[in-house]
Amino acid sequence: MKNLRKIDKSNMRQVILDFPKQFRIGIEAARNIPKSNIRYPISNIVICGMGGSTLPGDILKMTNDQLLITKLPILVHRDYGLPKEVNKESLIICISYSGNTEETLSALRESWKRNLRIVSISSGGKLIEFSKKRKIPFAKIPGGIQPRCALGYQFAGLLKILSGLRIIKNIDRKLLDLEKTLTPKNFEGTGRKLAQRIKGFIPLIYSSTRYQQLARIWKIKFNENSKIPSFFNIFPELNHNEMTGIGECENKELRDKFIILILYDKETTSDILKRMKILSQIFRDRGIKTIFIEIKGKNFFEKIFSNLLLADWTSYYLALLQQINPTPVVLVEKFKRTMAS
């Protein structure tokens, strides 16, 4: 395995091991956001970003669905400009890890033109430059890693901004506790074994509606770290369509390329758990491999980030098993350069 790690030329392994430290740094980056720039009342929260920089918004929505940390509607916008739900009382939070994401800069500029309430989060780039010149409050987080690896910085910064604006209660302590309770090394062996089982297959990640954002992030990790196709869906909806497309596919060679990863926890309702078990048996009868992955943790945040650490290790080792450096996303960068030309 040490020989395999030589492929990891950007040392993503160390980035994963250091992940729990990101929460403290993210909180500090957003601690002194000037509140005087933000007008009240606020009608909704609109988080604008792309790729790994929208993941904090996804986790925020999932957290709010379970813990109700705010009664304000939360929208995640993955596009140019602003969504139609934006109004003069919206709070716009623009997140771009690089600071140069074309779509997010478009949202920032439109927000400024419309004189909306804006806060930005970035490691630098044009987003920070624009914010400085126009005195838009911003949190500057450390750079140097891939956006998909910077979720701790961005999520902690986002929550600190919202608590500083009195939109949510201060939950710094819960995030800071993760630095002590999350031990990435504990998940490495399981992730390596999962990668060995998944190698050569196309992963389909299925979950309940409650954890659909986790399923989405697993899919993203496989796409960007492992450089393989991957897709996600949710119960019970997938039992009404996708199940047929996979299970009744007459092309056995195609059907046999899939492997199903089912995310669940002890709070999964009996109806959904029954669906998971039945689907697994149906697929296994047709020769389609399925793996159940339990989401474990003492509290909601520990569950979320423990599971995502497992996704990191699994996709990381899957890349190494294919002799691929997991860090670069060459095609994404090439596409951005072509768009900018």
Q: Which pair of tokens denotes residue 81?
A: 């400009």
Q: Report whether 125 contacts 98 (CB < 8 A).
A: yes
* Complete DSSP assignment for 212-229: HHHHHHHHHHIIIII-S-
Active site residue 224: yes
From the list 77, 103, 221, 224, the catalytic residue is 224
Q: Is 240 a catalytic residue?
A: yes
The residue from 2, 240, 248, 250 that is catalytic is 240
How many alpha carbons fall within 13 Å on the CB side of residue 267?
11
Residue 99 DSSP class: S
DSSP state of 223: I
Handedness of CA 45, 46, 49, 55 (dihedral sign): positive
Q: Is 294 a catalytic residue?
A: no
Helix, strand or coil, per DSSP, at residue 149 = helix
Query: Quick one: how many helices (H) and strands (E) in the chain?
Result: 15, 9
Residue whose token pair is 């490691």: 123
Phi/psi of residue 182, nearest 5 degrees: -85, 125
Question: Residue 35 in 3-state DSSP?
Answer: helix
Active site residues: 224, 240, 336
